[in-house]
């Protein structure tokens, strides 16, 4: 059953559309014909993952899971950005309680998406650095539009991506490619990502990306869903087990790292750089 914060806008017999009413930072649409749910992140301008967006993504994933949809596609309402990762403002001169909650919710979102039994795919309709790449690599399939960038660039901000955050990345890339990419803060272009296997297909538009994701999910139509789910989870269980063992310590590590004066200085400079880049464009 859906939670009360989700409103069905049309009867369940027709094409369905569900919308989060709490904050409208995500929407969920279920295609009645295919049974596939599309979760769209809608926090302009870049879907920066602040506390509210993370809470909303988590609720939407849970709603989709409870509705027993045939599959989940994650995408963005922003025309150029899939997701810019953690909202850097949450990490700069942070409120400590909020910072703790942000990291805990990022963990919760990853764990919900990585561990969901239904087929998942990311329609990456724009840039996907850091936390954006985390969402995409938690899925089983990725389709990306041209001329965008994806990768884990945490070291650029002076922060270290913990093991659980890297595990989806490592499921996809050879270890040596992953190690080099992380240490270099490498953001792969769409073409490079395809060449390395970080994404599975390129699409010319968001609509085409969503269609390709739906076609991937459709490939499971003749596979026993329980056997499929257990097989998927068997592949992912070890990473999840390790994550649950370390998640509390991981929160403490994150807080202590982000609060270091040199990391705060680095985050401040990075924010300034983003602002300057924008000013130079204008």
Ligand X SMILES: CCCCCCCCC/C=C/C(=O)SCCNC(=O)CCNC(=O)[C@H](O)C(C)(C)COP(=O)(O)OP(=O)(O)OC[C@H]1O[C@@H](n2cnc3c(N)ncnc32)[C@H](O)[C@@H]1OP(=O)(O)O
164 belongs to the binding site for ligand X (CB under 6 A): no
Phi and psi at residue 72, to the nearest 5°: -130, 130
Q: Give strand ranges (E) for 87-133.
A: 120-124, 128-129
In the residue annotation, 113 being an active-site residue is answered as no
Q: HSE, CB side, 13 Å, CA atoms: give it for residue 17.
A: 6
Handedness of CA 90, 92, 98, 100 (dihedral sign): positive
253 belongs to the binding site for ligand X (CB under 6 A): yes
103 with 254: CB under 8 angstroms? yes
88 to 127: interface string for ligand X, x by CB under 6 A: xx-------------------------------------x
18 with 69: CB under 8 angstroms? no
Which member of 153, 167, 190, 239 binds ligand X (CB under 6 A)? 153
154 belongs to the binding site for ligand X (CB under 6 A): yes
Candidate list 54, 55, 72, 86, residue with the active-site label: 86
81 belongs to the binding site for ligand X (CB under 6 A): yes
Task: Please measure the distance between the N-terminal and C-terminal CA atoms of the chain and give it in whole angstroms.
Answer: 48
| C-alpha dihedral, 54 to 123 to 138 to 6, nearest 10° | 40
In the residue annotation, 25 being an active-site residue is answered as no
Q: Which of residues 16-75 bind ligand X (CB under 6 A)?
A: 45-46, 48
In the residue annotation, 131 being an active-site residue is answered as yes
Which residue, 88 or 112, has its beta carbon nearer to ligand X? 88
Q: Provide, rounded to whole angstroms, the least separation between the CB of residue 148 and ligand X.
A: 8
Residues in contact with ligand X, counted by CB under 6 A, come to a total of: 31
The total of other beta-carbon atoms located within 10 Å of residue 242's CB is: 13
In the residue annotation, 218 being an active-site residue is answered as no
- CA nearest to 169, candidates 145, 147, 152, 188: 152
Which member of 80, 98, 241, 245 binds ligand X (CB under 6 A)? 80
Which member of 162, 206, 209, 232 binds ligand X (CB under 6 A)? 162
Q: Which of residues 121-150 bind ligand X (CB under 6 A)?
A: 127, 129-131
166 to 205: interface string for ligand X, x by CB under 6 A: ----------------------------------------
Candidate list 31, 50, 125, 153, residue with the active-site label: 153
- CA nearest to 63, candidates 75, 51, 72: 72
What does the binding site for ligand X look like in residue numbers (CB under 6 A)? Answer: 45-46, 48, 80-81, 84-89, 127, 129-131, 153-154, 157, 159-162, 165, 250, 253-254, 257, 274-275, 277-278
Known catalytic residues are 86, 131, 153-154
């Amino acid at each position: 059953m859906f939670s009360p914060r989700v409103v069905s806008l049309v009867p369940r017999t027709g094409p369905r559309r569900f919308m989060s009413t709490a904050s409208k930072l995500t929407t969920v649409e279920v295609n009645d014909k295919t049974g596939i749910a599309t979760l769209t992140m809608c926090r302009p301008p870049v879907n920066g993952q602040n506390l509210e967006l993370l809470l909303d993504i988590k609720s939407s994933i849970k709603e989709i899971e409870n509705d027993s949809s045939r599959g989940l596609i994650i995408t963005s309402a922003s025309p150029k950005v899939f997701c810019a990762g953690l909202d850097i403002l949450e990490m700069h001169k942070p409120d400590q309680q909020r910072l703790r909650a942000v990291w805990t919710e990022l963990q919760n979102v990853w764990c919900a998406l990585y561990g969901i039994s239904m087929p998942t795919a990311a329609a990456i309709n724009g840039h996907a650095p850091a936390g954006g790449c985390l969402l995409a690599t938690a899925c089983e399939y990725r389709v990306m539009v041209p001329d965008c960038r994806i990768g884990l660039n945490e070291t650029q901000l002076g922060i270290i991506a913990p093991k659980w955050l890297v595990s989806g990345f490592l499921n996809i890339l050879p270890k040596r490619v992953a190690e080099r990419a992380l240490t270099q803060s490498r953001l792969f272009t769409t073409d490079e990502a395809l060449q390395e296997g970080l994404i599975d297909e390129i699409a010319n538009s968001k609509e085409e990306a969503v269609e390709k994701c739906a076609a991937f999910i459709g490939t499971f139509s003749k596979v026993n869903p329980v056997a499929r789910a257990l097989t998927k989870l068997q592949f992912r269980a070890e990473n999840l087990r390790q994550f649950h063992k370390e998640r509390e310590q991981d929160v403490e590590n994150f807080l202590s790292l982000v609060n270091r004066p040199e990391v705060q200085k680095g985050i401040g400079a990075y924010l300034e750089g983003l602002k300057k880049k924008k000013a130079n464009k204008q």
